[in-house]
Amino acid sequence: MASSVPKGVAAAVATGALLYFGSGLHALPALTWLAPLPVLLVAPRLNPGLAALTAFAGWLLGLTNLARYLRNDLGLPLVALAFLVLLAAVFTATVLFFRALVVRRHFVLAAFAAPALWAALDYLIATVSPHGAFTSLTYTQAEVAPINQIVSLTGLWGLSFLLLFPAAVLATRRLVLVGALVVVAAGTCLYGVLRLDGTADSQPLRIAVLSAEGEDNARWPDGGGPAVLERYRPMIADAARSGAQVVLLPEKIIDLDATALPQLSEEFQTLATSNKVELVVGLTVFGPDDYNRALIVHPDGSAPTSYDKHHLIPGIEPYTPGDHFAVYKSWGLLICKDLDFPALSRAYGKEDVSLLLVPALDFEDDGWLHSRMALLRGLENGIPMARDGSKGRLTLSDAQGRIVSETTAPVDAPAVLIGELRPGRDGTVYTAWGDWFAWLCCLVALAGVVWLRSRGGRGSIRHGQLWGSPVADLPAGDAAGDTAGDHDRPGPAGVAGGRDAVR
């Protein structure tokens, strides 16, 4: 036991360091693939308690890269950090599942069922969490083409499976499984290359994404709201002169009572009509119910298209959630955190929306992460997207999730992004079939559990493979239930038969 502790410590530190730099607000995507490997390699050679401690400590160490953001930027209470513990527990459960299968020499099942459990739990968290799929590691690969194209087929859950699969294969130390890994990797890349080859053939739409310095008290008309409007007025006119057909402004730029909404709407109507642009603006509307609202104000003077944010930030946005979609000219509206929830974007895909317009508001440090989450929502459903992340990133992305144009929006200065997107939907299997791959992963993981229960009992254990015993410390011969009569064959000390040692 004492000799195993240094291995566990080294593995935990290695996994923690790889995860720390391979995830979070600014990830190095290559390191994400390597992060599970050190713990998975040593887990079958540790007893269950030490393997669990190693996995938990390593993963939690890596997740500390989010602690400052959650506490300082979002202002969440200390208890809210408990979800980091939950994520570490999910990884621990996956590692123990992998270990149990490897110790019983179910190597093929270990290589597939452990990543399947990981993806199934990722799906479960995204389904029940008020933060949706925010915690998924898959966003680390948002810029890694062609691998990221798999989400158009499987949703996030296919990419979640793939992130653990190579480490699981290598940790089994079986050459035949390396061949399977090569086939899976080649198939994934081939699918991605073929999908990246497609482009929409519609007419390009010129879009301006604008961000101006806001106000701490942006009330209309008796606060800083009029000053905010005045900052945007010349920016909108300049964008129109540059050929913009759509002008997108950020989330919550002005706060107002519902009774003042007609007056402010007239101001925006004048801007839209005089500049001949579709004007998208985000507001906070207070009344009998409070809403985080987005409007598309049309240049022809028709009634604005209205959308209320569905998914609000717990503890920060005490508003009434919206209950309807907003579609105009096959363009759909979403707001900021709505993009943390795959089901909502998929619902727009099923409505054949050809463009998503997204007012948003970042928290400075998380601009990269939130904008990349948005990329995958568009990619899952094959929909181009314009996103205005004030205090973060302004982005235009195509139906394959590629950045067409991007700029940073500072807190204390204006930012302008003007570019072209081609509206049109590249129909995806994910839009049509939804979370089918997540359910497949649930079945594979369940098969692993059933197999362990039916084949892993003490009566079926041979060659020194006791439940919960570290491989290096297993008793030899009949003491381990070895009835094969070959326990005196050469092999590592304490292992019944060299032919059965875990290599």
Residue 303: other Cβ atoms inside 10 A: 10
Domain that residue 135 falls in: 4-196
Structural domain includes residue 492: no
Res 476 pLDDT > 60: no
Helix (H, G, I), strand (E, B) or coil at 256: strand
Structural domain includes residue 192: yes
Distance CA 449, CA 110 (A): 11
Contact 368, 143 (CB under 8 A): no
Structural domain includes residue 178: yes
Number of domains in the chain: 2
Provide the pLDDT for residue 485.
36
Q: Identify the domain boundary among 196, 220, 252.
A: 196
Q: Tell me the percentage of the chain whose pLDDT exceeds 70.
A: 88
Helix (H, G, I), strand (E, B) or coil at 281: strand
Structural domain includes residue 17: yes
When pLDDT is averaged across residues 91-106 and rounded to a whole number, the result is 97
Amino acid at 246: V
Structural domain includes residue 486: no
Res 88 pLDDT > 60: yes
Let me know whether 19 and 109 are in one domain.
yes
Let me know whether 238 and 360 are in one domain.
yes
Q: The domain that contains 275 carries what CATH number?
A: 3.60.110.10
Tens of pLDDT, residue by residue over 295-345, are 999 999 999 999 999 999 988 899 999 999 999 999 999 999 999 999 999
Residue 216: other Cβ atoms inside 10 A: 6
Let me know whether 244 and 192 are in one domain.
no
Helix (H, G, I), strand (E, B) or coil at 253: coil
Contact 219, 250 (CB under 8 A): no
Let me know whether 365 and 228 are in one domain.
yes
Structural domain includes residue 494: no
Structural domain includes residue 416: yes
103: which 2 tokens?
A: 């110790």
331 contacts: CB under 8 Å, gap ≥ 6:
296, 353, 354, 355, 356, 357, 423
Strands (DSSP E) contained in 147-218 are: 205-211
Provide the pLDDT for residue 390.
95
Q: Identify the domain boundary among 398, 425, 452.
A: 425
When pLDDT is averaged across residues 360-379 and rounded to a whole number, the result is 93
Provide the pLDDT for residue 318.
93
Let me know whether 287 and 416 are in one domain.
yes
Structural domain includes residue 441: no
Instruction: Tell me the HSE value of 276 on the side-chain side, using a 13 A CA sphere.
Output: 6
Let me know whether 178 and 255 are in one domain.
no
Let me know whether 170 and 55 are in one domain.
yes
Res 479 pLDDT > 80: no
Let me know whether 367 and 413 are in one domain.
yes
Look at the pTM and tell me if it is higher than 0.85.
yes
Tens of pLDDT, residue by residue over 65-79, are 988 887 777 766 666
Phi, psi (deg, nearest 5) at residue 467: -55, 125
When pLDDT is averaged across residues 77-92 and rounded to a whole number, the result is 86
Amino acid at 70: L
Res 129 pLDDT > 70: yes
Provide the pLDDT for residue 2.
57
When pLDDT is averaged across residues 383-411 and rounded to a whole number, the result is 96
CA angle at residue 143 from 123 to 112, to 5 degrees? 40
User: Judging by beta carbons within 10 Å of its beta carbon (0-12, 13-18, 19+), is residue 141 exposed, middle or buried?
Assistant: buried
372: which 2 tokens?
A: 């990349």
Distance CA 282, CA 259 (A): 17
Amino acid at 42: V
SS3 string, 294-347, reads: EEEECCCCCCCEEEECCCCCCCCCCCCCCCCCCEECCEEECCHHHHHCHHHHHH
Q: Identify the domain boundary among 402, 425, 448.
A: 425
